[in-house]
Structure 1
């Protein structure tokens, strides 16, 4: 088994960090790994903003839902879906860009950001760093857009805390593998049969780490969250950025 695969399989989210700087050389390696990834039509519709300024990290920690590790870790990367670059290409050539007005554009940009994020995670962990992705970057998108000076046709999709781990934390169990890998077609039974045993496994895990009272199990946590749109400001903020997604 390759060392890279072992690093990936050993992933865990880190929320406690040492008070130790991460050099620009290492940050560049992480961001270059993200840039090297495949992307739709070579449009390269991802931009990574590196935040090291202490006051800005503190403000972002507040905006993403008071997640203190955003402020405490030395580096916060923000992955931006970026169709401004391709818009400028269209201005240069005279071919008017409309992809940002359709859900296909949002899907293509989201996939590209996700691929870049994954590469950054693997790169960071291979360098002995810890990470935790922050979807809360979308909690107050208008404020984040203003803070970062984002132009039209861009949107902050996800953040990534990076630093030296103060501990290794517990590795969270995943759903049974035979409900994750399906052969030839979608396996309804594998999904249906996986939920109860996975809930039991998650309950044991949550008891071990002292979070059982808050979360109970996988079904309880996810269904509580997904009974509402937990980042309701995204749609309006995206429309203001030019992502109008035609009906």
Structure 2
């Protein structure tokens, strides 16, 4: 097993950080790793905003759902779906951009951001840093857009807290591997059979780390969340940015 794979497989989210700055050189290495990743048609539909300002991090921590580690960690990265750059290319060439007016554009941009985020997590952890992605950047998107000065045809998709870990945290179990990896076609029977096993594993994990009173198994947790659209402001905010999903 090589070192890169070992680092990836040992991933865990970190929410407690040392009061220690992360040098710009390391942040640049992380973001250059993200930029080097593949993207749709080389359109490069992603940008990253580095936030270090204390007051801005405090405001973002509030906007993402009062997640205090966003404010306490030294660096917060915001990954932006970015069709503004490609729009400018169209203005230059006279070839009007329309991809941002279709769901295909949002899908392509989302994939680009996801690949960039994954690369950033691996790069950061290879440097001895800890991370935790923040989907809550979409909780109050219009305020985030204003705070970060995002132009039309862009949208804040996900954040990433970066810092030196104060503790190693616990590695959360994943769904059974044979329900994640499918051979040739999707195996619904394996997935259906795996859910009870995974719920039992999560119950044991939560008991072992002393959080069984605060949290519950996977089925109950995801069902509680997914019985509603938990970031209902996204749809209108996306439309206001000129992005459509027709």
Is TM (by shorter chain) over 0.5?
Answer: yes
Write the mapping of 1:182-193 to structure 2, written as runs, cut at 5 A.
Answer: 182-193=182-193
**Secondary structure of the equivalent of 2:95?**
coil
**Mapped pair 1:147 → 2:147:** yes
Note the C-alpha offset of 1:216.
Answer: 1.6
**Secondary structure of the equivalent of 2:159?**
strand
Unaligned stretches of 5+ in structure 2?
Answer: none
**Secondary structure of the equivalent of 2:214?**
helix
1:134 is aligned to 134
CA distance in 1, matches of 2:216, 2:149: 40
1:210 is aligned to 210
CA distance in 2, matches of 1:4, 1:44: 25
1:109 is aligned to 109
2:45 is aligned to 45
1:29 is aligned to 29
Note the C-alpha offset of 1:129.
Answer: 0.1
CA deviations over 1:205-234 (Å, ceiling 9, x no partner): 112223222332000000000000000000
CA deviations over 1:111-133 (Å, ceiling 9, x no partner): 00000000000000000000000
Unaligned stretches of 5+ in structure 1?
Answer: none
CA distance in 2, matches of 1:216, 1:18: 29
1:56 is aligned to 56
CA distance in 2, matches of 1:232, 1:74: 30
**Secondary structure of the equivalent of 1:13?**
coil
1:96 is aligned to 96
Note the C-alpha offset of 1:51.
Answer: 0.3
State the TM-score, normalized to the length of structure 1. 0.99
2:201 is aligned to 201
2:158 is aligned to 158
After TM superposition, which residue ranges in structure 1, 4 or more long, deviate above 6 angstroms?
none
1:82 is aligned to 82
CA distance in 2, matches of 1:210, 1:98: 52
CA deviations over 1:19-48 (Å, ceiling 9, x no partner): 000000000000000000000000011000
State the TM-score, normalized to the length of structure 2. 0.99
CA distance in 1, matches of 2:86, 2:189: 43
CA distance in 2, matches of 1:164, 1:235: 35
**Secondary structure of the equivalent of 2:104?**
helix
Note the C-alpha offset of 1:62.
Answer: 0.3
2:176 is aligned to 176
Aligned residues: 246
**Secondary structure of the equivalent of 1:210?**
coil
CA distance in 2, matches of 1:204, 1:146: 43
